[in-house]
Structure 1
Amino acid sequence: MLPLDDRTAERIAEVIVDVGGPYERKGYDLEKLLARANWVQPPEYDGSPRVPWLAEQLIERKHASPEIERLLCRVCDPVEYDDGKVSADEFREVINSKLEAEQLVVSIVGGRPVLGELGADGDTHYSAPGDLEKRLQRLIRDRATIDGLLNRVHETGLCERSGAHTMAIIGIGSFVEGLLLALFLERDAQIREHGFAGRKASTRADRAGLALLIDTAHDKGWIQLDAKDFMHNVREYRNFVHPAAELREKPKFDRDSVTLCWAPVRALLNDLEESIPAIGG
């Protein structure tokens, strides 16, 4: 569980640096890796032994859970390596062996690395990040919007715990819709003033649907293709808010369905944090 124990941080540092191994990272490689994981004010390598140096950085930021999570996922991300999935899978296997004691695991969900929790049953479980409020504060300026999004997540949890799994999934989709809309309104003056440009006509920002928000976030480079595609799956589930769709399809959602929907949301959050400058960063 985050925060990582100091000894786990030291083991993770050994894996990432890979001294004498085929994936050995030099000091400048470590600087670039931390920057690509979008650490706030990433440290400059000081020339000291690399493993203790990286371990020190991990331990110093142990309570900066989003940064640790993004780094763990980045190390296991195929985009980080020239040969893509081959190297990423090797790192993920070793990283997970070090994370097992923390009951954490990096899984590939919809093509993206996502940090989840290992349950007593050995299965991987996903949920809303425990530090979601802090993460939203670094993305969104308006406090009322943050409170509204947090309330939606709270209500989603109530639905899940009471067995209202369809409503929980609808709530997850609604959270993503609100998050993306808030980002467009705060970060894109063109969309804020003129709406979303279309082939024939523009769409007012307050009329944009979740599909348009997801596609535009990808077009702007805010989220990667895999996150976009998997979020569309969540959007399809969210559409069961319409009774006709539910009667027609007769979905049988359960708790596993809800946790699986949180996985692409976590991937989306990681992408947003990597691509959008943090407030106050």
Structure 2
Amino acid sequence: MKPLDPLTIERVARLIVDIDGPFERRGYQLTQLLQRAAWPKPEEYDGSPRIPWLTDVLTSSDDPTAVARLLCRICDPLEYDDGLASADLIRQELNTQLAAEHLAVTYVSGRPVLGELGADGHTAVFTVPDDLEARIRPLVSSEDFLQQLMERVTESQICEHHGAYGLAIIGIGSFTEALLLDILTYRDPTLQQGIAPAGGKPVAPERASFALLLDTARARGWIQMDAHDFMAIVREYRNFVHLRKQRERGVVPDRDTVGMCWGPVLAVLNDLETSR
């Protein structure tokens, strides 16, 4: 995501603070919100007027990824006692402010994801984010592995641009599976000795299935249940590496299929970022 215009940032700050509104946040709640959104070194509220304070915090950041996480977080059902009912009201208002930036937050199986507005000006389009490398760098175990992941992403993009949509979605699944395995064993080195399914015996990490990696990330609270569930389609479409699997499903992948796969991947990435 490119940096937001200063006026957009101010409008977002007003929405977040919501003075005298139903979703008003006190100073300490602003600090807590920044912490939940994994804001880099979140500042303690200093007692000054809240909207200018938050505007300054957002403006002073040189990390558009952090801003994107915050935009998603204020639309997250987890933030509100009644869940999606209130979160979606905030999302609709936020999208009004983001329209001039050609951005929109939408829900992918209940998880908020930021995307670019399509040609119709209403539908969010999901693709490889420009800042993907910077986003996953703090999550993975090494720079060498990061570059291998990005090479797989580049290969998927090449396939998509040349109409090889089936190979593109296989590449997206391969990227996500490898990312999950590295993050799991990096965050919890004991998993290098084996990853156990519920009620089962541990298997070597390199033999762990995509489904087991997702289950393990969910069990540790590193991804939310809805993001976990919606990844099933990405996991299944990755199996189109076996042509019979694609024929059994009767799927003919196209550009929309590729975008449909990037959506849940970005939802999982959001959860991994905020849970680190």
TM-score interval for Structure 1 and Structure 2 normalised by the shorter chain: over 0.9
CA–CA distance in structure 2, aligned partners of residues 23 and 76 of structure 1: 12
2:132 matched to which residue of 1? 132
What letter corresponds to residue 89 of structure 1 in structure 2?
D
The within-5 A match list for 1:78-97 is: 78-97=77-96
Does residue 201 (structure 1) correspond to residue 187 (structure 2)? The answer is no
What pairs with 1:103-114 in structure 2 (closer than 5 Å)? 103-114=102-113
Question: In 2 relative to 1, CA 106–200 (structure 1 residues): closer, same or farther, beyond 3 Å?
Answer: closer
| Other-structure match for 2:168 | 168
Extract unaligned runs of 5+ from structure 2: none
The aligned counterpart of 2:184 is 184
Q: CA deviation at 1:105?
A: 0.2
The aligned residue for residue 116 of structure 1 is 115
Larger mean CA deviation between 116-125 and 158-167 belongs to 116-125
- TM-score w.r.t. length of structure 2: 0.96
CA distance in 2, matches of 1:146, 1:267: 19
Give the distance between the partners of 1:162 and 1:9, measured in 2 at CA. Answer: 37
Question: What aligned pairs does 1:14-53 form with structure 2 within 5 A after superposition?
Answer: 14-53=14-53
1:218 shift after superposition = 0.3
Please list the CA deviations of residues 64-94 of structure 1 after superposition, one character each: whole Å capped at 9, or x if unmatched: 1221111111101111001111111110111
2:99 maps to 100
Whether the 8 Å contact between 2:105 and 2:124 is mirrored in structure 1 is no
* Contact 1:126 1:262 (8 Å CA) reproduced: yes
Deviation at 1:141, TM superposition (A): 2.9
CA distance in 1, matches of 2:128, 2:268: 12
2: distance between equivalents of 1:247 and 1:257?
16
SS of equivalent to 2:223: coil
Higher mean alpha-carbon deviation, 230-239 vs 243-252, is at 243-252
- How many angstroms apart in 2 are the aligned matches of 1:264 and 1:216? 17
User: Partner of 2:256: helix, strand, or coil?
Assistant: helix
State the alpha-carbon separation in 1 of the partners of residues 55 and 198 from structure 2: 48
Matched positions, count? 275
How far the C-alpha of 1:143 sits from its partner, in A, is 1.3
2: CA distance, partners of 1:198 / 1:47: 48
Q: Secondary structure at the match of 2:171?
A: helix
- What is the letter of the counterpart of residue 164 of structure 1? A
Could you say what secondary structure the match of 1:82 adopts?
Answer: coil
- Cα deviation digits, residues 150-202 of structure 1 (max 9, x gap): 00000010011101111111111001101011112222122112343553422
Gaps of 5+ in 1: 277-281
| Cα distance in structure 1, aligned partners of 2:212 and 2:275 | 19
Aligned amino acid, residue 238 of structure 2: R
Residue 126 of structure 1 and its aligned partner are, at CA, apart by 0.6
Question: Is the CA contact (8 Å cut-off) linking 1:92 and 1:106 kept in structure 2?
Answer: yes
256-265 or 188-197, which deviates more? 188-197
Q: State how far apart, in whole Å, the 1-side matches of 2:251 and 2:271 are.
A: 29
Indicate the RMSD between aligned Cα atoms, in angstroms: 1.2
Equivalence for 2:157:
157
User: Which one-letter code corresponds to 1:69 in the other structure?
Assistant: A
| Mapped contact 1:196–1:205 kept (Cα < 8 A) | no
Which residue identity does 1:36 align to in structure 2?
A: R
